[in-house]
């Protein structure tokens, strides 16, 4: 299956699928710190990969957790995560 158009810019370089799948995994958690524990990756790695995806895809994906509020996907981020779920690389 070809990747949906919304994902293609992230797939232009090596590691694109990995970054996309990590975004989908992070989105299931309330904070990047919680995702760090669950995924066994450093918070800085996850944050860097999400920022790179935001750059590659051209939009903000997450509203970061602040002041006791959990992080959440932006509408664009929800579209991206939905597209990821539909594809099996």
Give the SS3 label for residue 14.
coil
Question: Would strands 62-63 and 72-73 be described as parallel, antiparallel, or unpaired?
Answer: antiparallel
> Per residue in 4-22, pLDDT tens?
999 999 999 899 999 999 9
pLDDT of residue 1 exceeding 70, the answer is no
* Tens of pLDDT, residues 19-34: 999 999 999 998 888 8
Tell me: pLDDT of 65 over 80: no
CB atoms within 10 A of CB 73: 19
């Amino acid at each position: 299956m070809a990747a949906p158009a919304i994902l293609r810019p992230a797939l232009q370089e090596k590691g694109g699928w990995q970054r996309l799948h990590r975004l989908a995994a992070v989105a299931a958690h309330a904070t990047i710190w919680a995702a760090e524990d669950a995924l066994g990756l450093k918070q800085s790695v996850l944050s860097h990969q999400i920022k790179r995806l935001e750059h590659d895809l051209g939009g903000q994906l997450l509203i970061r957790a602040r002041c006791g509020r959990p992080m959440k996907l932006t509408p664009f981020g929800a579209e991206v995560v939905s597209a990821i779920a539909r594809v099996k690389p």
